[in-house]
Structures are given as C-alpha cells and as structure tokens.
Structure 1
Amino acid sequence: MTTPPESPAPGARARPVLLTVDDDPGVSRAVARDLRRHYGERFRVVRASSGEEALDALRELKLRGDRVAAVLADYRMPGMDGIEFLEQAMDLFPRARRALLTAYADTDAAIQAINVVDVDHYLLKPWEPPEEKLYPVVDAMVETWAASPDVAVEDVKLVGHHWSAPSFAARDFLARNAVPYHWYSVEEPEGRRLLAAAGAAPEDVPLVVPPGGDALLAPTEAELAAAVGLTVEPSTDFFDLVVVGGGPAGLGAAVYGASEGLRTVLVERQATGGQAGQSSRIENYLGFPDGVSGGQLADRARRQAAKFGAEVLTARKVTALEARGPARVVHFADGGSIAAHAVVLATGVSYRTLPAAGADSFTGRGVYYGSALTEAEACADQDVFVVGGANSAGQSAVFFSRHARCVTLLVRGPSLEASMSHYLIQQLADLPNVVVRTGTTVTAVRGGDHLEEIDLAGPDGGVHTAKTSHLFVFIGAEPRTDWLDGVLDRDDHGFVLTGPELLVDGERPPGWRLQRDPYFLESGLPGVFVAGDVRAQSVKRVASAVGEGAMAVTLVHRYLEER
C-alpha cells in the first residue's frame, strides 16, 4: 500500500521526499518510522509496497513538481526487484540519491547495483541501531542531494514542441491570461521525464500539468482555462449587464458597470486585452508617459473589474444573441447561455489572415497573428519579418528589434504616414536593425516542419525569396460578426451600426418599438449597446475604446430607468 504523497497548501513549498520501498509490511513500517523520527521535520516520508506502486508515486510527484531527495529500495521484491526499480526511478528523478536494502546474502548484488545503476549506498538489514547504521548513510545521501537538488516547480508545467501549432496556442493562451507557467521542450530531458510520468508520447503534446498534478493532453482552451484556475462558469444565469468581449472597450464597460452597482459579467473568447493586449508597448495612452505593455494594461483592468465585483469568464465563445421578452440572452458555443437586462457588445476585430500561398499551413509554426511575445527568445539573432503598416505592426517591430538580428517591416502602402503614429515612425527610423520596405507584399511561404522562407513582391513587380523562421502579421481588421446575422444591422464590412447611423431619412429602424431614437451607442435591438472597434465609424484607438465602454454603461443606466 502506497502512502499518498501529501499535497501542500496552495503557495506553500512542499518538503522534499524520502521514498522507501519494501514488500515486507513490517520492514516497510519500520524504515518509515525510523526515517520520520529523524527527518520528519525537514522531509516527507513516502512508503510503497512494490516497485510499481513506488513508480506511480514518483510519477505523481514529478507531475506535481515536487522534489525527491533519496530513494531506499529493498533488493528482493516480487515482480520488480530493487535494481530494476532504481533504474526506472533514475529516469524520473536523476538527482535523487539511491540506496539498496539488502540481506547479508545479497551483498554481491548490492555491489553489482553500485556499478550498474550508480547506487550510492547499500544497507544491510536489520539496521539496528539506526543511529549507527541508518542515519549516517541517509545523512550522506541528503547532503549530496542538497548540493544540487531538484528544483520544485509550482507553476503550470507545459511540455510541447516549439514548432507545434497546438503547443504555441497553449503557451499563447497562458501568457495572454497572465498564468505563470514553465515551458519544457520535448527535446529536453525534463520534458521527456514529464511525458513519461504522464504516460504520453512526444506526438501527444501539448502536455499541461497544473500545480495539482492532473495532466491534460492536448486540452481545449476551455479545459485549459478550468485546469489553471480561470473562471469559465458564471455564478448565476441572470445579470444586470453582460459584456461580450474583453478588449479595452469591454474591460472599460465591466469596470464602470460593476463600480456603479450593476451585476456585471464579462465574457471573453480567449484572453482579456484583445488586440491591444498583444501590443508589446503602448506609449500614447493617457497617464503612462513611459509606456505600458498591452498585457499589463489588460491585467490591471481585469483586476480592477474583479475588485468591483464583476465576473470574468474566459474561454467562452458567444455564438448567438436573442431578445426574450425584456431579457437579452447570450448563447455559448457549448450550448449554455446567460441572460441580462442589457448587453454591451465589445468584440473588437481580428487580424485578417495572410493571403499568401501556404500561409494557413504554417500558422503557429512560424506565421503568427499578433505579436506572439512568447516567441521573443526564439527570435534571438534571427532575421524576422513583420507585415503591416499600423501602430500594432510598428510596436511589434520595435519590440522584436531588441531580440532579432534584423527586423524587416513589410508595408503594402507607399508610406507609413497614413496609418502609423508619428512617434512610432521616429522610433523605427532610429533603430539600426529595423528595415522598412514599402510597396511590398508576401506572396508565398514555404518550409518543412516550420516556416523557412517567404516570397516578397516589391513595388517594381519583381519577386525575391527571403530566409526566415518568424513572420508576424498585422494586416487589416475584421469584426467577425456573422453570428449577429438577422439580429443587428451591420454595414457592408460587418461593423455594427448604432445610434444615428440606424436612422434612414430620419426614420427609426424597422421593428424599433420605443418612442425615442436609439441612443448613440445603441444597436437596432433596444438594450444592446456597442462599444469599441466592432462599432461602425468608431475611432480605432485604445483610449477611445475605453471611453466608449464607460459611455455605454451610462446609456445602459438610461435604458434601465425607462423600463
């Protein structure tokens, strides 16, 4: 019977483990008793009655990120003897010290074990008195281990392949949601040990191991969110206000809605912050003269919303909106739904996909949409390319210039002046390893297991090939509002119409039953407001999006007062 490894309190650093394995219950209890008596304050003592049970315990400890200082195994055990067990234990915890418990007749086997599996010591049974025969040996083992111990990892552990699109998606999801994690490549020894502990193969990645130790293989975003402690389920099925989208506009609406007493829930498909959350540095946002990263801004806003009582649901995709009497109902892709008195749509926009041959097959394997800041280390001393001419592309080029050997900014238009802020244009001009190429588009991408080269069409019509493993894309923006077909009026590009734009020759939109015109940010469905980039004719800036989120809440109050 295995003594279950104790689970430390959240945030507490677990004591390292002394593991003892013996199939004789009396011997097992005796060695565990003696070890606890002398080492119990500094170590946890875990005992097992067979090699298989002990390996199961070691796998659990490995997945939880715990440390094993020493292993004491009986030589004669059925099924798997002590030498066989120690060989496999070394694969999981190579730094743990090892001792073999033997009878006098098995001394030759113990000496063989020292040569075969690098056993540190052997102990003859019985070891009475322990002060003379047991403790000095274990003391030496513990001292040797302490000189270079295993490091306890209390964050989420993520095992994957650098050029695996699902592995990148998991890393990006955790990073954008500000979840601390430790990355292990399948090519690293520790990555292989974690895969072995979980009973997984390299092709099964990503492997995600939360601090609790329950491994997930290739989880969905919803499964990953739940496993790492993000909120995915609402506390109730009815709210005063549902905010759809967690970009600057949605976060602004959640902060102001909750702070003004509305029962507020924010629903985000992937990670709060939206496109702004992927910006490496925003330098023209009011109140941050030294600049602020999009991730920092989003994290502060998320914590601020939570402080006022707003719920934030992550990894929930909204697929439909309907009016059900006075209620406004939001439906999720998994079949669930929540209702509210009012809704603020702040779903923002998404980058358009690169219209180049082969681009789709390399998404997450060299072609990235947005900054993909987790790739910064991999760009060291590399030639990288950024596609786009607006602020997000410029900010990304500045960021990667600190890591890459050369950053080439590819701009379809004739100049940057029409689409990029002046301060960014000046910054790019001052960076010696940034090259701006105007009138240039990417026509094709190629490679093996990852991106290796791209074809570039220049202003003279010529095409040439460039070697690169990283291409970051920031081209245009799409609102992706198809799920609102037949519910809300949109313009030809899919942006939602609000307020005065809904009036045709002074006439209110069809089906409008209120004795007033739609409010400025109100859609054609009363009680549904629109803020930020998804709104037609909005100003595509972070500050204006936050302002619209706050303004939408003011209009929500007016709407609720009318009822």
Structure 2
Amino acid sequence: MSKPVILSVDDDHEVLGAIERDLRRHYRGEYRILKASSGRAGLQAAVELKQRGTPVALFLVDERMPGMSGTEMLQEARKLHPDARRVLLTAYADTEAAIRGINDVGLDHYLLKPWDPPDLRLYPVLDDLLSDWSANVRLPYDGLRVAGGTWSPQSYAVKEFLSRNGVPYRWLDVDGDESVRELVTSVTGDPTLLPVVLFADGSTLVRPTHQELAEKVGMRTVASRPFYDLVIVGGGPAGLAAAVYAASEGLATLMVEQEAPGGQAGTSSQIENYLGFPAGVSGADLARRATAQAKRFGAELLSAQEVTAIRRDDPYRVVRLGNGTEVSSYAVILAQGVSVRTLQVPGVETLTGRGVFYGAAMTEAATYRGRHVCVMGGANSAGQGALFFSRYASRVTMLVRADSLHKSMSRYLIDRIEAASNIEVQTGLEVVEVYGAGHLEGVSVRDVSTGDVRSIQLAALFIFIGSAPHTATVADLVELDEKGYVLTGPDLPSAASGRPAGWLPDRDPYLFETSVPGIFAAGDVRAGSGKRVAAAVGEGSGCVSVVHRYLATV
C-alpha cells in the first residue's frame, strides 16, 4: 500500500515551497507530500488520487486563490475523500472564511500565515489531526492476517490484543471459508490449531503469546537501559498520567504494561463524563492520545510485558519482568489497576471466549450483529457496554442483581439506557449457570427474592460484576487492605512508633506512598481511590509530585 498523502495547495509559489519544505521535514517518513499551485490543480490531484485508490490524510489549502477558493476546492474534495482532515490557510484573520469553511466543508482547523516556528504553530495542530485520522480511518489492507475460529478462545485473545494495541489486521474465519481452513492446514498440519497469524513478509506464528506478537509487530518489549528514576507498573489512566507528568518534568521514566495501554478504561466504548470531551471519548482514543503524549515527552513504554516481582534493595527498587530481566529505579508507582471479577458458576470456564466474555470485548460486536446478547452487571462499565452492543445486537438484556440501576450507575447512563428501544433491564437476578455445546447457547438465572430459576436463550454474555485488584505480585511487599487493595499514606496501619511496621525514614509516609518508602500507588489499585477515569488521571499526575519529594531525599 502506498503512503497516505498530505496535499498542500497555494497559488503563492514561495509559500507553497515553504509548506512543502516544512511538511517533508516532519512527515515524509509516514506520508507522501504533494503540492498544487491552484484550487483547480489541487482538485484534479484529489481526483487522480481517488482513481488510484491512494488515501488522502489531510488537505492544507490556502483560502484566497483566483479561480477557485480554498473553501470551494475543499467542498469538492470532500466528496472524493470524506475522511481526510481539512485545514485552511490565510494571511490574516478571515472570520467570514472560517465560518463558511466550518459550515460548508466541516473544516477541522484554521491556520494563519506565517506559521513560524512550525514546531509550535504548525506541527502540533497537524499531529493531532493526523493522529485522529490514522486511528479512525480504515486503510486498505496491508498484510497482517489472523486465521482463526469464531469459537476459539485463543483466536479471540489474539484479536483482542491486536485491536486494543491499535495493530490493524484482517480476520480470516475458518468456519466460513474452506480456503482459510486449507491455508491453516498447510501451515500447521492441523486445522484446529488456531489461530495462525500470517505476516506480510511470509512468516507465521501459531497460537502466539502476547509477547511474541508484540515483538513481531515492532512493539517495545525490552527495556533500553538498566536504571530509571521511576518505573510505573501498569498503563491504565493512572499509569499513563504518571508517565506523562514524570517524563515532562525530566525524570527517566519506564512504564510497563501487560496487555494494552488504557487498562480497563481502554475497553470503554464511550466515556461521556470526562472533562474536556463534551461529545464523549472512547477509552481506546483516550489511551491512544495519552500514549502518544507520554512518548512525546520521552517516556519509555514496554508492551506485553508482565512484572513478576518487585524487591527493595536500598536505595533502589528492583523490578523483575516476565522475560527474566530486571530494571532498577529510585522509585516505583503501582498503577496496575483492576480486572473484572470472574463469574464462578458451572459452564463459565469451558465457554469463556466461546460466547462468554469479560468486559466489553468490542472486537466481537460484529459477530453478534442482529442477535440477542446479555450484559451482566449494573455499574457504569456495564451500562457503557450495553449501549455499545445495542448498536449491533437486535436485543440487549441487562442482568442486574440489585433491585435497580440507581445504586451503582451514573444518571446520564441510566437515561440513555431507558431511551434505547432494544435494551431491556432485568433486576433482582443472578446467573447460576451458563450452557452450550461448543459455544454459549443460554444462561440460567435465579430470582434473588423468590429463588425461582429460569433460562434465557442468547448468543453472548458480557460480564461486568465488580473488580479485583492486580496485587498478587506485591502482596508480600506492601500493606494491603482486606480486599487486596494497596494501602497508602494516612490509611497505613501504625505500629507503636506511630508509623508503619518496619518503616525506617524519619518522616511519615507521603500521600500515595505505600508501607515501603519509594513505592507509591495510584488509581484503582489503591485503597480508597475514586474508581473513575478522571480520578485515576488525577492520582497518577498528583503522585509524580510526591515522587519528586521522595527523590530529593535519596
């Protein structure tokens, strides 16, 4: 596939040359830079690119051109490349053109000439627009294919990992295409050995681990240095916020994420109450933006890498990774978050990944288009999941153990659920069994007040029934509460000295600091946290200021 195009259009040859120079300097690695000296020439270039099937990522067009204005050109080009981002250039504040552009062509931005220095006045604007374009536009297929089965848990795991990490792939279903089955057999000798991941260079991976996949597609899985100022365990909102603030303030920062940036929040189909996004933002988009921001400031992010142990070796903290390597640091932030609590009823273990899923499992939405699915749970995450699946399924049933949604769900979500014609909320019910031959066929539910049991036939069950903290690796290192969450600051139990047992510094623990000096906790994994995305972001960023105070003492 040829590179997507950035097309600049201006009738002033000096300005056009300057635009081309600045665009090539910053974007030539990922985009093809083209130019045109008039509106009509720019439109003709857009036509030719459409005919060749070359995607246009962004139009950067001068407004005041003879024969065809920038707005007129963009209005026609929009019909050919509707997903391209559209930016107008002008030499002065032309309010009339801006209003016309916004109303007539869905203008994305408006830039004044001159744009010097481009590092401040040009690139940040275009970086954001191009990031949005690449995240939301489906480009022509470019090589990576996953051959698997609808009812294969391993296939589901690979699809989910690639999707959440923003790696495009083409799905090949062995159940619906005999040629795909033959392809898998030619690679493995066994058509049931799924999935098979096929790469553009001709290589293949059979039932790969997340780490094998990450290494193959070019993700960083190995730390570049042995020592950092700060290691952050977990890449959810708290971890990402900590990485952004720590790196921006000059700390050598490493963030280690086991699955995908964004954590549980990254699976949210739409977060509508996050400050600054009046139309809402998906968890994936929020995670993508935060990841790009952290990398821009110099934070190093490891993907598909598990932290298996942390030990104290004063004045250092040593983190052992799943590949057996170790990295040292002055400080550690625990931000590994929580996972959806597993459902302990007959049939679940066998059917997980075969119609039973934990969390939103957005990669599976198209599989259940026009079918009946159930969402189990009554908190915000369940509500967001129900609304997401209602776009695809013919019917969504919410199974809620409480007698109403009002005890655990935000009002705005309740209002939207009540307004959705294909969502039905059934309260006072608990799932006691899931069943099916090879894949989910139905669930048995019990009325919690009467004890009556009945069956519901359905195609998929998505489970949101509370959370459990990821603290197994630090259970013997830091103090936890009775539910396994990390205790910090004033919540730590005190010994006779008035400070935590074994506490050596001649000071009280800082806010967000655990029972081990230099190890901090932020976000959902911390006891007493707000369990909201905004709260996690606030804790992650606030935790960095406390880390600075600690670093000043070592």
TM-score past 0.5 threshold: yes
Identity of aligned residues (%): 49
Residue 415 (structure 2) pairs with residue 426 (structure 1) = yes
| Number of residues of Structure 1 aligned to a counterpart in Structure 2 | 418
Partner Cα distance (1:231, 1:210) in 2: 18
SS in 2 for 1:559: helix
- Residue number in structure 2 paired with 1:517: 508
Tell me the amino acid that sits aligned with residue 473 of structure 1: I
Contact 1:266 1:311 in 2 (8 A): yes
Contact 2:494 2:501 in 1 (8 A): no
Alignment of 1:527-538 (within 5 A): 527-538=518-529
Residue 543 (structure 2) pairs with residue 552 (structure 1) = yes
Partner Cα distance (1:348, 1:274) in 2: 7
Deviates further, 199-208 or 237-246: 199-208
Partner Cα distance (1:261, 1:193) in 2: 54
Partner Cα distance (2:486, 2:509) in 1: 13
Partner Cα distance (2:547, 2:357) in 1: 37
Post-superposition shift, 1:189? 4.4
Post-superposition shift, 1:432? 1.0
Match of 2:146 among 143, 158, 167: 158
Partner Cα distance (1:392, 1:212) in 2: 40
Post-superposition shift, 1:434? 0.5
Match of 1:499 among 460, 485, 489: 489
- Residue number in structure 2 paired with 1:269: 258
Residue 514 (structure 2) pairs with residue 526 (structure 1) = no
- Residue number in structure 2 paired with 1:400: 389
Partner Cα distance (1:215, 1:309) in 2: 33
- Residue number in structure 2 paired with 1:177: 165
Gaps of 5+ in 2: 5-138
Deviates further, 439-448 or 505-514: 505-514
Post-superposition shift, 1:448? 1.1
Please list the CA deviations of residues 353-409 of structure 1 after superposition, one character each: whole Å capped at 9, or x if unmatched.
Answer: 112211111111111001000111111111100001100000000011111111001
Post-superposition shift, 1:193? 5.3
Residue 403 (structure 2) pairs with residue 414 (structure 1) = yes
Partner Cα distance (2:361, 2:376) in 1: 13
Partner Cα distance (2:230, 2:3) in 1: 34
SS in 1 for 2:468: coil
Please list the CA deviations of residues 396-450 of structure 1 after superposition, one character each: whole Å capped at 9, or x if unmatched.
Answer: 0001111111100111111111110000000000011101111111100111111
Contact 1:384 1:407 in 2 (8 A): yes
Post-superposition shift, 1:186? 1.2
- Residue number in structure 2 paired with 1:355: 344
Post-superposition shift, 1:331? 1.1
Normalising by structure 2, we get a TM-score of: 0.73
Please list the CA deviations of residues 124-144 of structure 1 after superposition, one character each: whole Å capped at 9, or x if unmatched.
Answer: xxxxxxxxxxxxxxxxxxxxx
Residue 210 (structure 2) pairs with residue 221 (structure 1) = yes
Post-superposition shift, 1:229? 1.4
Post-superposition shift, 1:194? 3.7
Match of 2:531 among 525, 532, 540: 540
CA spacing shift, 1:434–1:325, aligned 2, 3 Å: same
Contact 2:182 2:191 in 1 (8 A): no
Partner Cα distance (2:140, 2:378) in 1: 45
Partner Cα distance (1:155, 1:234) in 2: 28
Contact 1:277 1:295 in 2 (8 A): yes
Partner Cα distance (1:418, 1:266) in 2: 35
The CA RMSD measured in Å over matched residues stands at 1.8
CA spacing shift, 1:430–1:494, aligned 2, 3 Å: same
Partner Cα distance (2:450, 2:493) in 1: 46
Tell me the amino acid that sits aligned with residue 216 of structure 2: A
Match of 2:435 among 446, 450, 453: 446
Post-superposition shift, 1:11? 5.8
Partner Cα distance (2:460, 2:223) in 1: 39
Partner Cα distance (1:529, 1:313) in 2: 20
Gaps of 5+ in 1: 1-7, 13-150
CA spacing shift, 1:221–1:11, aligned 2, 3 Å: farther
Alignment of 1:240-389 (within 5 A): 240-389=229-378
Moved over 2 A (4+): 189-201, 210-213, 503-506
SS in 2 for 1:350: strand
- Residue number in structure 2 paired with 1:100: none
Post-superposition shift, 1:155? 3.7
- Residue number in structure 1 paired with 2:220: 231
Tell me the amino acid that sits aligned with residue 149 of structure 2: H
Partner Cα distance (2:199, 2:295) in 1: 23
Normalising by structure 1, we get a TM-score of: 0.72
Post-superposition shift, 1:230? 1.2
SS in 2 for 1:478: strand
Post-superposition shift, 1:333? 2.8
Post-superposition shift, 1:153? 3.9
Contact 1:156 1:228 in 2 (8 A): no
Alignment of 1:28-177 (within 5 A): 153-177=141-165
Contact 2:234 2:336 in 1 (8 A): yes
SS in 1 for 2:441: strand
Task: Select the structure of larger CA radius of gyration.
Answer: 1
Please list the CA deviations of residues 179-215 of structure 1 after superposition, one character each: whole Å capped at 9, or x if unmatched.
Answer: 1111001132452354255354321211012333210
Partner Cα distance (1:210, 1:328) in 2: 39
